[in-house]
Chains A and B, each alone.
Chain A
Amino acid sequence: MPPARSPSPGWPSPAGTSPPDPPDRPAGSAAAPGRSGLLRNRVFTGGVASEGTPVGRRIVLAMLALGAAGVAVGARAERALERVIDPVRRNDPTGLSDLLPVGNFRYYSVTSSVPRLGPADYQLRVHGLVDRPRTLTLADLGAMRQTALVRDFQCVTGWRVGNVHWSGVLLSDLLAEVGVRPTARALTFRSFDGSYTESLTLDQATRPDVLVALRMIDGPVTHDHGGPVRLYVAPMYGYKSIKWLGEIEAVDHVTPGYWEERGYDVDGWIGRSNGRDDDPV
């Protein structure tokens, strides 16, 4: 509330009951209370009549109102749109529907390019506080017990892809293979893209829904999805499921990963972190 000031000379004021209008209020709009002033064809500014109606301003205000409404109900609208678009996308041979900013995987990489590795040159190094450090090839991983999961992939930025088929080596199987020492408390994962890192506590890493994934959506994990080998941490947001997995180190304390250094929660439980309430997968 601005400090009360005496009405300017030309201003009739109702016997001091309410504070006077701000003095910069033009006479024209003061005479027409509320919205009706806007509907007139001539609007007075500073006592001088200027040509035309301020439609431009109304367009701007209407867009602001629409934008605010969109923020309020957009979550519901997006869900409805996804329901419409998902079937279309599944039967779309052109791939054009992937341009719609709704649903489906989005490609996130933090580096300019990622080497393409295959059966010949891919290696997964498992080391740190373990009894039998190993460097595994794709064939080594493929020879281990394979576990399959059908679970959603939920990104912390909001998108979610339903019922993705995953399969690969349970991380706990892999850890048993190398023999994690009792002093180890956590794992640090490093991507062979050279930048990305992630972390899990040992308790999280040994859950039965954490996979070193070799296959995804009916085929080997493709390069764009983080292949040939990526992590899939089902109960956590996508940034925990490190792509292009190149190295696992057993360590004595959690070192926050790439996005966690940049503000995301270290314990990225879906629906219970990062200020989100998504349904668990």
Chain B
Amino acid sequence: MTPSDPPPPAAGPSPASGGSGLATVRRFGRSTRLVHWTTAAAMGCCLATGAVLLLPPLAELVGRRRLVELIHLYAGLALPVPMLVAAATTGYRRDVRALNRFTAADGAWLRARLRLGAWQRARARAAVAGGVGKFNAGQKVYAAFVAGAILVMLGTGVLLQWGPDLPGGFPVAWRTGATFVHDLLAYGLFFGVAGHLWMASRDPIARVGIRTGTVPAWWAAREHPAWTVSADGPPIPDDPGGPADPGSQDDSGDRAVRSGHPLPPRG
């Protein structure tokens, strides 16, 4: 399942991959990680306060409806801010572009996931695993879903909050409709985020990646074999101008692998 695209330049005894398990790859720049975690915090806040507003047993437990509403409102308004701010950085834009673009391999990946029958599905997934780039198609779909959901929740939420103040008036049916969409999509988001956390819970290295920005090269080669630096844009600095991550002590290995194809010995 070796990717066929660019041949690994000096894949052999580079200083980094010498230790075989120690080579690392830069996966997420600082802006991308900041967007992830601030959005996660705001989303968690929205889901928690939303649950209190929506579910009677929780409402009975917490009370303080006015305060909970206020927190919900401001957390909701804050949701799109990190993404908008980070759009100024090239590293984040590069990741967004990678999430946005679906290749033929992504189509095959999604079709393999939807195959019926455990054996057939496992075989189909094994057959397409080599085509997975920096993000697999599931991650791309999830990212798009969350982005769309944030916009819809923002739109309906703003309608619910300020609709009655519109100069032209605000039809009641729209208010009910906006409530309906907001409530329904809240459940969708809850299950979406739950699925996201479930996937993350099963892959500690992926969690390390989004936490520190760096992953072992062997993991990148196993989970994202078609992720190449060339497809990912120019190598290194994720944050132009920003100082290097104080935590990335493996800078040399990082660079060594990043400038080539992250392909360690497998087996």
On chain B, the residues within 8 Å of A275 by CB distance are 164, 169-170, 172, 175
Provided the pairs A51-B101, A56-B102 are in contact, do residues A112 and B56 lie with their beta carbons within 8 angstroms? no
A264 nearest in chain B by CB position: B164
- Select the stretch in A18-26, A63-71, A128-136, A212-220 that faces chain B: A63-71
Q: Does A183 contact B (CB under 8 A)?
A: no
A108 and B143 CA atoms in complex are apart in Å by 34
On chain A, the residues within 8 Å of B148 by CB distance are 59-64
A113 and B178 CA atoms in complex are apart in Å by 30
Q: Are A56 and B100 in contact (CB under 8 A)?
A: yes
Q: Are B101 and A75 in contact (CB under 8 A)?
A: no
Q: Are B63 and A55 in contact (CB under 8 A)?
A: no
CB < 8 Å neighbour of B56 from A64, A106, A110: A106
Minimum CB–CB distance for B137 against chain A, Å = 9
Q: Does B41 contact A (CB under 8 A)?
A: no
B100 nearest in chain A by CB position: A56
Binary contact readout A87-108 vs B (1 if CB under 8 angstroms, 0 otherwise) = 0000000000011010011111
On chain B, the residues within 8 Å of A99 by CB distance are 55
Q: Are B177 and A52 in contact (CB under 8 A)?
A: no
CB < 8 Å neighbour of B99 from A56, A73, A263: A56
Q: Does A74 contact B (CB under 8 A)?
A: yes
Minimum CB–CB distance for A65 against chain B, Å = 10
Minimum CB–CB distance for A24 against chain B, Å = 16
CB < 8 Å neighbour of A74 from B55, B151, B178: B178
Q: Does A8 contact B (CB under 8 A)?
A: no
Provided the pairs A50-B97, A72-B174, A278-B172 are in contact, do residues A78 and B152 lie with their beta carbons within 8 angstroms? no
On chain B, the residues within 8 Å of A66 by CB distance are 152
Q: Are B65 and A101 in contact (CB under 8 A)?
A: no
Count how many chain B residues have C-beta atoms less than 8 Å from C-beta atoms of the other chain: 51
Q: Contacts A71-B178, A110-B66 known; list 7 others, CB within 8 Å.
A: A56-B140, A76-B173, A78-B179, A107-B59, A112-B62, A275-B164, A277-B172
Q: Are A63 and B101 in contact (CB under 8 A)?
A: no
Q: Are B181 and A74 in contact (CB under 8 A)?
A: yes
Q: Does A249 contact B (CB under 8 A)?
A: no
A81 nearest in chain B by CB position: B180
Minimum CB–CB distance for A44 against chain B, Å = 13
On chain A, the residues within 8 Å of B149 by CB distance are 63
Give me 30 A-to-B residue pairs in the complex whose CB atoms sit less than 8 angstroms apart, sorted by A's number.
A51-B231, A52-B106, A54-B101, A55-B100, A56-B101, A56-B140, A59-B145, A60-B144, A63-B148, A64-B152, A66-B152, A67-B151, A67-B181, A70-B177, A70-B180, A70-B181, A71-B177, A73-B177, A74-B178, A74-B179, A75-B173, A78-B177, A98-B56, A99-B55, A101-B183, A106-B54, A113-B63, A275-B172, A275-B175, A278-B172
CB < 8 Å neighbour of B64 from A106, A110, A263: A110
On chain B, the residues within 8 Å of A6 by CB distance are none
Q: Are B59 and A67 in contact (CB under 8 A)?
A: no
On chain A, the residues within 8 Å of B141 by CB distance are 59
List chain A positions with a Cβ less than 8 A from chain B. 41, 50-57, 59-64, 66-68, 70-78, 98-99, 101, 104-114, 157-158, 224, 262-263, 274-278
Q: Does B155 contact A (CB under 8 A)?
A: yes
Provided the pairs A59-B148, A62-B148, A110-B64 are in contact, do residues A50 and B101 lie with their beta carbons within 8 angstroms? yes
Minimum CB–CB distance for A230 against chain B, Å = 15
B164 nearest in chain A by CB position: A275
Q: Does B31 contact A (CB under 8 A)?
A: no
On chain A, the residues within 8 Å of B252 by CB distance are none
Q: Are A274 and B59 in contact (CB under 8 A)?
A: no
Q: Does B159 contact A (CB under 8 A)?
A: yes
Q: Does B156 contact A (CB under 8 A)?
A: yes
On chain B, the residues within 8 Å of A54 by CB distance are 100-102
Minimum CB–CB distance for A164 against chain B, Å = 16
Q: Are B180 and A74 in contact (CB under 8 A)?
A: yes
A75 and B171 CA atoms in complex are apart in Å by 11
On chain A, the residues within 8 Å of B60 by CB distance are 107, 109, 224
Q: Does B2 contact A (CB under 8 A)?
A: no
Binary contact readout B137-169 vs A (1 if CB under 8 angstroms, 0 otherwise) = 000110111011101100110010000100001
